[in-house]
Amino acid sequence: MTTTAPRLRPSLKGKGPGLSFERALWDAGASIVVGVDEVGRGAWAGPLTVGAAVVPRDRRVYKIRDSKMLTETEREALFERVASWCVAWAVGHASAAECDELGMSAAQRLAAARALEGLGMDADHVLLDGKWDFVGGATRIVRGDQKSLSIAAASILAKVTRDRMMKEQAPDFPAYNFEANKGYPCPVHKAALQAMGPSSIHRRSWVFMDHLMWNGLERIVRPDDQMALPFED
């Protein structure tokens, strides 16, 4: 299904990512260049999600931006266009339980491995948003979702997929307002945690759990504290 791309707000014009990183790798002989981005690292509930996208060399989809720069409505309007434009794309998840059991570093590696496997093709090179290579052998690009078209595409695919998952689960956990906050901290979410304790999809090893009322769910404590510092998605 092809949808109409949203009209770009004036603040977003002239800020689109390009293909300079991809072209340099193509010219060097890398046929399959994969952009990778993750979302959900700073959430208190739900999965950690990694998107992987392979974009074509000869066709462009305009109006793609870093998913954080777009509204939810804009991301939804772009999702089908981006998905159908990509040569291949996939999304991998690490559940809240896996984040607790493995720790965030290992959970990111697991979600990335699942995303790359889901592509159905072997990457010659990976372009990765951020400073930490949780893929192995990737080119790290700070603010890569604002500079690389394939990373920006992966960010939209990952963000929309994860948001849809959280909205689907929201009716099972009505007090936490997951349909609005997608598992991230906000006043309603925090108040529900203080009143009711965590749900089964909360990350129960993280430090924000230290001062909550517990409701019968097992408290998970890891030797390496989760979320000792705030993260950005």
> Is residue 108 in some structural domain?
yes
- Condensed to tens digits (0 to 9), the pLDDT of residues 140-151 reads 999 998 999 999
> Do 129 and 40 lie in a common domain?
yes
Q: Which of 114, 147, 167 is the last residue of a domain?
A: 167
Please give the residue range of the domain that contains residue 180: 170-209
pLDDT at 85: 94
> Do 145 and 189 lie in a common domain?
no
Instruction: Indicate the pLDDT class of residue 59, thresholds 50, 70 and 90.
Output: confident
Instruction: Indicate the pLDDT class of residue 5, thresholds 50, 70 and 90.
Output: low
Between CA 145 and CA 16 the distance in angstroms is 10
pLDDT at 19: 94
Residue 138 has pLDDT above 70, yes or no: yes
> Is residue 68 in some structural domain?
yes
> Do 103 and 199 lie in a common domain?
no
> Do 160 and 176 lie in a common domain?
no
CB 96 within 8 A of CB 178: no
Contacts of 29 (CB under 8 A, 6+ apart): 124
Which amino acid belongs to residue 55? V
59 to 6, 19, 80, 84, 100: CA distances (angstroms): 19, 11, 15, 12, 41
> Do 106 and 81 lie in a common domain?
yes
pTM of the model: 0.86
**CATH code for the domain of 91:** 3.30.420.10
pLDDT at 13: 60
As a whole number, the mean pLDDT across the chain is 87
> Is residue 109 in some structural domain?
yes
Q: Which of 167, 189, 217 is the last residue of a domain?
A: 167
> Do 80 and 184 lie in a common domain?
no
> Is residue 134 in some structural domain?
yes
> Do 90 and 153 lie in a common domain?
yes
> Do 163 and 185 lie in a common domain?
no
167 to 4, 23, 75, 164, 181: CA distances (angstroms): 23, 37, 15, 5, 9
> Do 101 and 75 lie in a common domain?
yes
CB 144 within 8 A of CB 131: no
> Is residue 42 in some structural domain?
yes
> Do 150 and 184 lie in a common domain?
no
pLDDT at 219: 54
> Do 163 and 188 lie in a common domain?
no
- Condensed to tens digits (0 to 9), the pLDDT of residues 105-126 reads 999 999 999 999 999 999 999 9
> Do 131 and 193 lie in a common domain?
no
